């Protein structure tokens, strides 16, 4: 092949031999001698360095000569969807604090506090033996559900794993029905047949409540598929944890979601531990927001302990998806204060670590301070809101405790649907 470029101009484009040697060394994690790079000006660039150099050329926006490509490669190998989509996403305006109204801050406080007090009460009821089985509390992660919910519509679908109480309440499900479900009562949202991990509220577009780690991800992808098939504008918000992020079907979903440009926000609630295994011991690549790269799904990491950050990130993600760009990944860096479930020896992390998070990064304390600093609420008002929430949840818990157990008549119902008219 005839060469229509000279190597020295490429090296010059990349800042000269010295800088290129440094950049290539960093880029490839090897030590490359400056003199070697200078020698390429005369001797030509070896094929094995070309891919890295092409990536650097793309990065600086320099021209890539056609026949510079190493054998068997073309420009498409480098300019994948990811770089295109990431570039495109970066051009989207970021939302900022001016997009958060006073009213929104008040709601963040009230809603997060409600979730916390609800889960605290659930923990107590579990301790009293009124709730059985597995029970996973959301305490510490409230900013994620509240911030995300504020950015989506009622028409949008939400699906998650088994740590689902908060997402249901955020969607508008009845907290009384949740408490009843947890206690196996007839008024339970699943008539007492699902329990903590399996609750659904299709009227509020909440699709579970799934007990198998990661299984909700392809299901949520299918809800988005249906939305697109039926020409609707609704998106699918799929929550899963850092533990689930290692399941194969998550990547199968990424692939199909991107292939078919499905309207999905993959929201990874990275609370740092998949049960008792820290993400560092479980994921070869801990940068979960980038796991969609090779599928062309852009993503970014968000401070999941701050409802404002979550909300602003969600606004951008929602706009991205609604504009028809296909899926996006949001990795929420968050933390759960309680154990994975109610039976957690907590030997995998120190008390000090948990205490530090509680003291320094608590999402409710953060909003509380903000409300006071902005003189939206004073301490008295904050306390009266807390009191009101506590007494409401107490009342509901009492009512649920006193309600009747689920009926044996439900034992054989709902195995198969006989409703053929649908």
Would you tell me which residues interact with another protein (CB under 8 A)? 157, 159, 188-194, 198-202, 207-212, 215, 217-227, 229-230, 236, 248-249, 252-253, 255-256, 259, 410, 413-420, 422
Q: What Cα–Cα distance (Å) separates residue 117 from each residue in 49, 70, 170?
A: 58, 61, 14
CB of 143 to another protein, least distance (A): 27
For another protein, the closer CB: 189 or 314:
189
What three-state secondary structure class fits 208?
strand
Q: Kind and range of the H or E element at 28?
A: helix 16-28
Look up tokens 């570039």; give the residue. 87
Q: Closest separation between CB of residue 324 and another protein, Å?
A: 16
Q: Which is nearer to another protein, 218 or 276 (CB)?
A: 218
Q: Measured from the CB atom, is 147 or 161 closer to another protein?
A: 161
DSSP character at residue 404 = P
As measured in angstroms, the least distance from the Cβ of 176 to another protein is 15
Nearest C-alpha neighbor of 159 from the set 115, 217, 111: 217
| Degrees to nearest 5, angle at CA 224 with 270 and 257 | 65
Nearer to another protein, 194 or 363 (CB): 194
First to last CA, the chain: 65
CB of residue 201 vs another protein: minimum separation in angstroms?
7
Calculate ∠ Cα 81-82-88, nearest 5°. Answer: 90
Minimum CB separation from another protein for residue 254, in Å?
A: 9
Residues forming beta bridges with residue 278, ordered by sequence position: 273
H and E: helices and strands count for the chain: 16, 8
Nearer to another protein, 56 or 199 (CB): 199
> Nearer Cβ to another protein, position 36 or 249?
249
Nearer to another protein by Cβ, of 142 and 181: the residue is: 181
d(CA 29, CA 341): 41
Angle at 287 between CA 251 and CA 271, to 5 degrees: 90
Q: How far is the CB of 251 from another protein (least distance, A)?
A: 8
159: region left, alpha or beta (phi > 0 left; psi from -120 to 50 alpha):
beta
Cβ 240 to another protein shortest distance, Å? 12
Q: How far is the CB of 162 from another protein (least distance, A)?
A: 12
**CA-CA distances (angstroms) from residue 108 to 144, 176, 199, 349?**
10, 21, 24, 29
Helix H or strand E segment including 303: strand 299-303
The nearer residue to another protein, 140 or 195, going by C-beta atoms, is: 195
Q: Are 50 and 5 in contact (CB under 8 A)?
A: no
């Amino acid at each position: 092949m005839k060469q229509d470029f000279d190597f020295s101009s490429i090296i010059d484009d990349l800042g000269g031999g010295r800088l290129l040697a440094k950049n290539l060394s960093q880029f490839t994690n090897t030590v490359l001698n400056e003199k070697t790079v200078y020698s390429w000006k005369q001797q030509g660039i070896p094929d094995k360095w070309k891919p890295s150099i092409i990536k650097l050329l793309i990065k600086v926006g320099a021209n890539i000569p056609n026949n510079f490509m190493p054998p068997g490669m073309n420009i498409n190998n480098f300019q994948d969807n990811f770089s295109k989509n990431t570039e495109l996403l970066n051009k989207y305006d970021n939302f900022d604090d001016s997009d958060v109204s006073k009213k929104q801050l008040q709601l963040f406080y009230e809603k997060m506090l409600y979730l916390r007090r609800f889960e605290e009460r659930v923990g107590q009821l579990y301790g009293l033996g009124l709730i059985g089985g597995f029970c996973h509390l959301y305490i510490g992660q409230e900013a994620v559900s509240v911030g995300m919910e504020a950015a989506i519509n009622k028409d949008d679908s939400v699906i998650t794993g088994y740590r689902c109480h908060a997402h249901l309440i955020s969607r508008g499900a009845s907290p009384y029905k949740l408490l009843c479900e947890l206690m196996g009562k007839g008024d339970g949202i699943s008539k007492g047949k699902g329990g903590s991990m399996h609750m659904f509220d299709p009227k509020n577009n909440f699709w579970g409540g799934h007990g198998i780690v990661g299984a909700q991800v392809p299901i949520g992808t299918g809800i988005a598929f249906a939305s697109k098939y039926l020409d609707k504008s609704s998106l699918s918000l799929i929550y899963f944890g850092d533990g689930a992020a290692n399941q194969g079907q998550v990547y199968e979903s990424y692939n199909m979601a991107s292939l078919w440009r499905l309207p999905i926000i993959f929201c990874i609630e990275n609370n740092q531990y998949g049960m008792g295994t820290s993400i560092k011991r479980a994921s070869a690549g801990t940068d979960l927001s980038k796991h969609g790269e090779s599928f062309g799904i852009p993503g970014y990491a968000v401070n999941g302990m701050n409802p404002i950050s979550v909300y602003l990130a969600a606004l951008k993600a929602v706009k991205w998806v609604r504009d028809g760009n296909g899926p996006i990944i949001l990795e929420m860096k968050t933390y759960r204060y309680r154990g994975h479930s109610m039976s957690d020896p907590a030997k995998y992390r120190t008390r000090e670590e948990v205490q530090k998070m509680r003291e320094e990064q608590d999402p409710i304390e953060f909003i509380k301070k903000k409300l006071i600093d902005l003189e939206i609420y004073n301490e008295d008002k904050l306390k009266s809101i807390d009191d009101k929430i506590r007494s409401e949840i107490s009342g509901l818990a009492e009512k649920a405790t006193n309600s009747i157990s689920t009926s044996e008549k439900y034992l054989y119902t709902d195995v198969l649907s006989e409703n053929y008219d649908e």
